[in-house]
Amino acid sequence: MIIANLYQRTTSSNGDQSMKPAPFSHLLPAVRAQAELDVEARINCLWGNRWIDYPRANRALQELERLLALPRRERMPCMLLHGDSNIGKTQIIAKFRRHHPDTFDAERGVEIRPTIAMQMPPTPDQHRFYSAPLFEVGAPHNAAASVTVLERLARDLLRRMAPRMFIIDEVHHLLAGSYREQRASLNLLKFLANDLQASMVLVGTHDAVIALQTDAQMVSRFTPFEVPRWQESDAFRRLLAAFERVLPLRLPSELAQRDIAQYVLATSGGLTGEISRIINAAAELAIRSGHEAIRLEHLKDVTSTSVG
């Protein structure tokens, strides 16, 4: 019924059918079909994974592509992707990995992985460190095995899988250990990068930069790449406009307007993840209320309820 009304609105305001904009022309063509779904289905779409391009993320992706394309050699160049928590670092890595899917070599029986990503264990501990990639690649292993056994298994499997890039997220967890443990973990990272002849990408908060600074070799080898918080700018307004084009709302919200942009920036702290959460929550409210466009009061509503 609502869809029919919206179609009517576009046809009755203009006599000539051929001159009228397509329904939901404020949305990307791929999203328009979603806008025709019922309330619950659209809300499901809203909270699903999606990617929105923005310049800093694209730059990070280009840099990752460059590293991946490098020929194997001793001392592969590495990267430290850092920024505040919830700034979108993990999303960038996930996007990059989607572009480089795993394949299976049926003749040799080996899964070939261009990239292997794991999380740094909450405390620097060799046993957990070697278990993490085994868990990540789905290797059956005896969790009670000694560090030596796990190390051999991990190195053997990783070599077979021939990753060109090894990604370690939450690398700031290194700081949870003593100075000695931090040094031991950093040595382990260097050893693994050399052993696999793969580029290593460490991902973490600004604490990760501090953790790496305890080792001069690491500083020289890992090129830092920061994903900063958003500031009020044309780029930020373009980000909001891009968001608007992927939300399954039936009417345009004009998110790039100054008052909305300033409000979103202030309440999100300029964190991409928080911006996304606020806009999604406001979009859900707009769908449920039948307004079909995000208004400032929706944003105020969702940010005031989330604070408590």
C-beta closer to other proteins: residue 155 or 190: 155
Pick from 142, 178, 220, 231 the residue near other proteins by CB under 8 A.
142
State whether the Cα torsion 175-179-185-187 is positive or negative: positive
Residue with tokens 């373009």: 238
Q: How far is the CB of 125 from other proteins (least distance, A)?
A: 19
Among 2, 28, 149, 296, binds other proteins (CB under 8 A): 149
Which residue, 140 or 308, is less far from other proteins as judged by CB?
Answer: 140
From candidates 161, 200, 209, 287, binder to other proteins by CB under 8 A: 161
Q: How far is the CB of 113 from other proteins (least distance, A)?
A: 8
- Of 6, 110, 176, 242, the one binding other proteins by CB under 8 A: 110
Q: Is 71 in the site for other proteins (CB under 8 A)?
A: no
Identify which range of 56-64, 131-139, 166-174, 275-283 contacts other proteins by CB under 8 A.
131-139
Near other proteins by CB under 8 A: residue from 160, 183, 238, 245 = 160
Choice from 31, 37, 61, 139 touching other proteins (CB under 8 A)? 139
Least CB distance to other proteins at residue 67 (A): 23
Reference 104, options 93, 95, 114; nearest CA is 114
- Evaluate the CA torsion angle 244, 250, 253, 254 in order and state its sign: positive
- Our finding on whether 104 is near other proteins (CB under 8 A) is yes
Give the residue with the Cβ less far from other proteins, 38 or 156: 156
HEC per residue, the chain: CHHHHHHHHHHHCCCCHHHCCCCCCCCCHHHHHHHCCCHHHHHHHHHCCCCCCCHHHHHHHHHHHHHHHCCCCCCCCEEEEEECCCCCHHHHHHHHHHCCCCEEECCCCEEECCEEEEECCCCCCHHHHHHHHHHHHCCCCCCCCCHHHHHHHHHHHHHHHCCCEEEEECHHHHHHCCHHHHHHHHHHHHHHHHHHCCEEEEEECHHHHHHHCCCHHHHHHEEEEEECCCCCCHHHHHHHHHHHCCCCCCCCCCCCCHHHHHHHHHHHCCCHHHHHHHHHHHHHHHHHHCCCCCCHHHHHHHHHHHHC
x/- map, 229-268, other proteins, by CB under 8 A? ----------------------------------------
- Does 147 participate in binding other proteins (rule CB under 8 A)? no
Does 9 participate in binding other proteins (rule CB under 8 A)?
Answer: no
Kindly state whether residue 141 participates in binding other proteins, applying the rule CB under 8 A.
yes
Choose, by CB under 8 A, the member of 19, 106, 216, 307 that binds other proteins.
106
Regarding 66 and contact with other proteins (CB under 8 A), the answer is no
Give the binding-site size for other proteins (rule: CB under 8 A): 22
The residues binding other proteins (CB under 8 A) are: 104, 106-111, 113, 137-142, 145, 149, 152-153, 156-157, 160-161
